[in-house]
Amino acid sequence: MLYISLQVIYVVLAVLIAPVLDSLERKIKAKIHSRIGPPILQTWYDLRKLFNKELVLSRAALPLVLIVLTMLGLCVLTLLAIPAGIPFAFFSGLDIPFLVVLIASIQGLIIAASVVSDNVYAVIGGFREFAIGIVNEVALITAVILIFVSTGLTSFAMLPEAAIRPSYIPVLVLLLTSAYVASGRIPFDIGEAEPELASGILIELSGPALGTALYSILMKRFVCASLSALALVLPLVRLLNPLASFAVFTALTTVMWIIHGIIAVLLGRSRVDIAAKALVLTYSILIISSTALVGVGL
Amino acid sequence: MSEEEGNSGQVVKGSEEAIFLVENLLRKKLSELPVKIYRAAGDSIVVEVPRRYLRDAANAVHNDLDAYVRTCAGCDEREIRGIYAVYHILGLDNYGVNVIIKVAVPENDAKVPTIADIAPGADWCELEFRDLVGIDLTGRPTHRLVLPDDWPDGLHPLRRDVPYGVRPPPVKREEVSLIEIERPGIPVGPYHPALHEPEYFELYVEGETVIDVRYRGFHVHRGIEKLAESKLTYKQIPFIAERICGICGFCHSTCYVMAVEKAAGIEVPERADYIRAIVLEIERIHSHLLWLGVACHILGYDAGFMHTWRIREKIMALAEYLTGSRKTYGINIIGGVRKDINKEKVPKVLEVLDFVEKETKNLADVLLSVPEVKRRLTGTGKLYREEARKLSVVGPVARASGLYRDVRKDYPYLAYKHVSFKVPLYTEGDNLARTLVRVEELFESISIIRQLLDTMPGGDIRVEEYEIESGRVSVASVEAPRGEDVHFLITGEGRPYRWRVRAPTYQNIPALRAMLRDQQLADAPITIASIDPCFSCTDRLVIVEVSGGKVRRVRRINVVKVAGGKVW
């Protein structure tokens, strides 16, 4: 019962806190920029403003809104499937495969969103998302699977091994990198690169539709931060009591979000060819080394 | 980086000796043509040539004497001499001398042969006088450039008999559709996040590679020349000239007053020359910092954007401290300046310069080491030297493509002859080279201001009494942050008879076509920005279809009417 409550608290927290974390990210970004920055609830204010506007749906916007809503649902499901630092499986039995499928679906939806519009900015933005998405999906899913293999987990209801194996380190790096890329921040936000594509696939949306899309992006970012936090907290789960472990996990999720935000401030936007090449190279090295290490049982 | 001084090492640019030398050269080169060669005001030589020999004369000056097109202007001189006149202003920057090729055009047969094939830099200005003065061109395809599409044919606003402020009823025309290309055209503009002014680019892409570019501009032509020629007085124009541009306005007002002073032979006190030069350099620093910030923003590196603007803020405050305004300083008048920089102000200026120098150095080090920024500047938007020369590009764009071209050195003016500074020169011709030219110029400008403050002479800051004789011709140029501003002036009674303004972006935009072709779409915004375009100064319209590097067809299409428009 405690586990279920903690898991539900975590999801409710996520739904409420994601926009706050976004404001916090903007605030920290502003500090680095030598600006004052917005108040801590600014993103909520922005969303409220968007939801108060009239709903206008262009021809291309309707399928996009459906996709965005599905993504939102998938994100919530994913958050239920990610154990909140506790040995608990919400979808017992098939929890790990289910998580993998959910993550794959979220990435797949982003790709789908890119091809429903006939707006030229959106099409080009979509193909960029597609290029990065395909490369990153492979890495992210491999990383998630390897995490479980190298910690000896077959279900989240189990306690992971306490001792960290050497293979866990490349796996962790792979996961942290691909989770960052999946969060769609600079330098990998090329799909909505503002200067040339005027927000890419988002260009067709306005008002509540845009609000939903932005909110779903925030939820996706929360999922990415949670996955990173999960990978960091797994080796500790056995050592801590459930409440402490939950607290550490939640705190780590926040920290990961902030780290993601800071990395984004320090970098410039990449280009689709450069980004895809760089990612393929990095991921190949990481996937091969980590799979090899996990395979030989290190 | 290397520095070359051109091949006229033996003469001081712009000196009497240089003018004499050029005059002799011209007499020799043009000896076969029935031309009249005489001195105009300042460093200019006029070559009067009959219409049918214009092309020969242009060829001899542009190609044999290695001149480049500064601008051209049409003028309605029917009141005085019963003719129209066309002036092609070519610059010999190895000598610091302007050659004005003047052609008389009879009223009943208002046509001149084109020189755009000989000197491609003249492409736009020819079309402009065709639109505004109604002197037709032979030997080239023509289309409307400046006037909006609903403007009636045969009404040429810069003719003297057309009153100022005439608003003809719009003429309905059949829409000429765009030439069909079976590839997606990516519209960039008239309003677009990557362009902070109303201009229109249409990029044709194959995958992510730009294969063709269309450009449409001149949405916000304001008719400032007509205003000056029909309503304002000599003394009012510096203030309107400063409003040509929201970033480098002081360059325009300085250029105008210099043109008038040259034409009227006004001896400006040396102290005023120093003050103008100091303010011009302050303007360059603020403009380059602004550009650097925008470039960072376009590359998605907003931290760089915010920090350059933080540094720039000190320069804006400094401008206000010295002139009373952050921008649009309004201190230029004919014969000098209105505001002095006295001794008490110097320490504050030096303090700000130290701050800006230190902070800019740190910032430049950081932002040029951000991997994405460096990677995306390097090798993108290439403009090769030969192409740059052919298109008569100016300013940092020229200097990044290996052309040693800086008005401050080539046509020495104001107090620049008293200071030593380097002209940064790169040969790569890519976006990184243009960035580095600007970054280095920032430090050179700081050093120039320090030297000027150090050696500033005492005395008056303006002359009150002067006479401006009418019918005098002069050309003045100022090295603005984006390249050279050129003002061509024919004096009249109480106000200029003809005042032609050419902003640097006017010369640089045509080069964008070469720079954008075969580039990645993602690099298009930074490449467009890399010429530091200032559309407000420039504004006009052209649609060119390009195929295999050659202009295949030029067509006119309906202008999207856009109201307003302000500089960034």
Tens-digit pLDDT profile for residues B380-391 = 888 998 888 888
Tokens of B319: 């401008």
Which residue of chain A comes nearest to B520, CA vs CA?
A271
For residue B564, name the pLDDT band (cuts at 50, 70, 90). very low
String of DSSP letters for A238-263: TTS-HHHHHHHHHHHHHHHHHHHHHH
DSSP annotation of B558: P
Residue B561: pLDDT over 50: no
Distance, CA of A267 to CA of B447 (rounded, Å):
31
Average pLDDT over residues A226-254: 87
Residues β-bridged to residue B132: none
Q: Is the Cβ–Cβ distance between B288 and B363 less than 8 Å?
A: no
Instruction: Give the pLDDT confidence of B426-472 residue by residue, as tens digits.
Output: 999 899 999 999 999 999 999 999 999 999 998 888 998 888 888 88
Q: How many pairs of residues across A and B have Cβ atoms under 8 Å apart?
A: 86
Give me the mean pLDDT over the A199-221 stretch.
84
Give tens-digit pLDDT for B58-102: 988 888 888 888 889 999 999 888 999 999 999 888 888 899 999
For tokens 């109201």, name the residue. B563
Residue B9 pLDDT grade (very low, low, confident, very high; cuts 50, 70, 90): low
Task: Indicate if the pLDDT at residue B562 is higher than 70.
Answer: no
Cβ–Cβ gap B187/A34 under 8 Å = no
- Band of pLDDT at residue B7, cut at 50, 70 and 90: very low
State the greatest distance between any 2 C-alpha atoms of chain A, in Å, as a whole number.
Answer: 59
Residue B116 main-chain phi, psi, to 5 deg:
-65, -25
Alpha-helix residue ranges (DSSP H) falling in B299-345 = 302-323
Q: Confidence class of residue B177 from pLDDT cuts 50, 70 and 90? A: very low
Higher pLDDT, B536 or B360: B360
What is the predicted pLDDT for the residue at B401? 92
As a whole number of angstroms, the distance between CA A57 and CA A208 comes to: 10
pTM, two decimal places: 0.85
Single-letter code of the amino acid located at B169: P
Q: Which of B507, B560, B499, B493 is nearest to B537 (CA)?
A: B507
What is the SS3 assignment for B44?
Answer: strand
For B35-66, how does the pLDDT look when each residue is reduced to its tens digit (9 = 90+)? 888 888 888 899 999 999 999 999 888 888 88
Cβ contact B306–A270 (<8 Å): no
The band of B193, judged by pLDDT with boundaries at 50, 70 and 90, is low
Q: Which residues pair with B36 in a beta bridge?
A: B48
B282 neighbors B260 (Cβ within 8 angstroms) = no
Nearest-CA distance from B195 to chain A in Å? Answer: 8
Question: What pLDDT does residue A199 have?
Answer: 64
pLDDT at A32 over 60: yes
Scanning A121-150 for CB atoms below 8 A from B yields: 121, 123-124
* Element housing B337 (H / E): strand B336-337
* pLDDT for the residue A228: 92
CA B439 to CA B359: how far, in whole Å?
12
Q: How distant is the alpha carbon of residue B255 from its chain centre?
A: 11
Q: Determine, for residues A120 and B186 on separate chains, whether the beta-carbon distance falls below 8 Å.
A: yes
For B106, the 3-state DSSP assignment is strand
pLDDT at B175 over 60: no
Whether residue A177 contacts residue A139, with contact meaning beta carbons closer than 8 Å, is answered with: yes
Q: What percent of chain B has pLDDT over 90?
A: 33
Report the residue from B192, B303, B375 with minimal CB separation from A32: B303
Half-sphere exposure of B545 toward its Cβ, with a 13 Å CA cutoff? Answer: 11
The pLDDT-based confidence of A152 (bands split at 50, 70, 90) is confident
Which letter does DSSP use for residue A94 in this model? S
Given a cut of 50, is residue A260 above it in pLDDT? Answer: yes
SS3 B250: helix
pLDDT at B8: 47
Q: Would you say A64 and A209 are in contact if contact means Cβ atoms under 8 Å apart?
A: yes
Alpha helices in B401-501 (DSSP H): 407-410, 431-455
**Which residues are bridge partners to B74 per DSSP?**
B86
> What residues are paired with B111 via a beta bridge?
B136
Residue B192, pLDDT score? 61
> CA A258 to CA B168: how far, in whole Å?
60
Residue A165 DSSP symbol = P
Say how far apart CA B554 and CA B145 lie, in whole Å.
11
pLDDT at A165 over 80: no
Residues of chain B in contact with residue A274, where contact means CB-CB under 8 angstroms, are 375-376
Model confidence at B196, in pLDDT bands (50, 70, 90)?
A: low
Using only the alpha carbons of chain A, give its radius of gyration: 19
CA distance B411 to B278: 18
Give A75-91 pLDDT, tens digit per residue. 888 888 888 877 777 77
Lowest mean pLDDT among A217-231, A239-253, B83-97, B193-207: B193-207
CB of B246 closer than 8 Å to CB of B566: yes
Specify the pLDDT at position B190: 58
Residue B354 has what DSSP assignment?
H
And the tokens for B98? 């302007």
DSSP string, B441-453: HHHHHHHHHHHHH
Is the per-residue pLDDT at B180 higher than 80?
Answer: no
**pLDDT recorded at residue A215:** 92
Are the beta carbons of A251 and B503 closer than 8 angstroms?
A: no
Asked if B201 and B528 touch (Cβ cutoff 8 Å), the reply is: yes
CA B385, B388, B392, B397 torsion-angle sign: negative
pLDDT of B18 reads 87
- Partnered with residue B479 across adjacent β-strands are B484
DSSP secondary structure string, B5-21?
A: --S-TTS-TTSHHHHHH
- Structure tokens belonging to residue B114: 């084109």
| Residue B412: per-residue pLDDT | 85
Residue of A nearest to B306 (CA): A33
With a threshold of 0.90, tell me whether the complex ipTM lies above it: no
- The letter for the amino acid at B525 is P
Q: Is the peptide bond before B190 cis (omega within 30 degrees of 0)?
A: yes
Strand pairing report for B97-106 and B44-48: parallel
- The pLDDT score that the predictor gives to residue B252 is 92
Contacts of A212 (CB under 8 A, 6+ apart): A65, A68, A69, A72
Residue A236's Cα: distance from chain center in Å? 22
Residue with tokens 């060829």: B59
What does the pLDDT average to over B135-148? 86
Cβ atoms of A132 and A191 within 8 Å: the answer is: yes
* A129: nearest Cα among A182, A60, A194: A182
Condensed to tens digits (0 to 9), the pLDDT of residues B21-30 reads 888 888 888 8
Q: Are A226 and A30 in contact (CB under 8 A)?
A: no
Q: Is B91 strand, coil or helix?
A: strand
Q: Looking at the complex, does the CB of residue A267 fall below 8 Å from at least one CB of chain B?
A: yes
Contact B521 A186 (CB under 8 A): no
Q: What is the pLDDT of residue B191?
A: 60
Contact in structure between A187 and A269 (CB atoms under 8 Å)? yes
Q: Which two tokens stand for residue B317?
A: 């405050």
Neighbours of B68 (CB within 10 A): 21
- B457-B461-B463-B468 Cα dihedral, nearest 10 degrees: 100
Optimal mutation site among B204, B301, B307, interface A, most CBs of chain A within 10 A: B301
User: How many C-beta atoms surround the C-beta of residue A158 within 10 A?
Assistant: 14
Closest partner CB to A270 (pick from B185, B303, B372):
B372
Between B277 and A125, the higher pLDDT residue: B277
- Give B-chain residues touching A35 at CB under 8 angstroms: 306
Chain B nearest C-alpha distance from A140 (Å): 23
**CA B108 to centroid of chain Cα atoms:** 33
- For residues A233 and A85, give the distance between their C-alpha atoms in angstroms, rounded to a whole number: 7
Please indicate whether, in this complex, the C-beta atoms of A34 and B193 are within 8 angstroms of each other. no
The whole-number pLDDT of residue B216 equals 72
- Take residue B315 and report the two structure tokens written for it: 């320069």
Amino acid B551: pLDDT: 36
Q: Is the pLDDT of residue B538 over 80?
A: no
Angle of the B249-264 helix axis to the B270-298 helix axis, nearest 10: 150
Distance from CA of B165 to the nearest CA of A (A): 38
Which of the listed ranges A47-51, A242-246, B172-176 does the model predict with the highest average pLDDT? A47-51
* Spatial CB neighbours of B9, under 8 Å, sequence gap ≥ 6: none
| Cα–Cα distance, B178 to A100 (Å, whole number) | 49
- When pLDDT is averaged across residues B180-204 and rounded to a whole number, the result is 63
Q: Are the CB atoms for B345 and B355 separated by under 8 Å?
A: no
Q: For residue A49, give how far its alpha carbon lies from the nearest alpha carbon of chain B (Å).
A: 22
Q: How far is CA B66 from the centre of its chain?
A: 20
Chain B residues within 8 Å of chain A (Cβ atoms): 184-188, 192-194, 205, 208, 296-304, 306-307, 310, 370-373, 375-376, 520-526
Give the number of C-alpha atoms closer than 13 A to the C-alpha of residue A68, restricted to the C-beta side. Answer: 22
Q: Is A277 touching B (CB cutoff 8 A)?
A: no
Average pLDDT of chain B to the nearest whole number: 83
| Structure confidence at residue A79 (pLDDT) | 87
Cα–Cα dist B85/B395, whole Å: 29
Position B103 confidence tier, pLDDT thresholds 50, 70, 90? very high
Strands in B254-331 per DSSP E: none
B267 pLDDT higher than 60: yes
* B428, B380 Cβ separation under 8 angstroms: no
The more confidently predicted of residues B358 and A58 is B358
What's the gap in Å between the CA of B220 and the closest CA on chain A? 22
Instruction: Flag if B303 and A193 touch (Cβ within 8 Å).
Output: no
pLDDT tens, position by position, A37-83? 999 999 999 999 999 998 888 777 788 888 888 888 998 888 888 88
Residue B5: count of CB within 10 angstroms of its CB:
11
Percent of chain B with pLDDT over 70: 88
The confidence score (pLDDT) of residue B449 equals 94
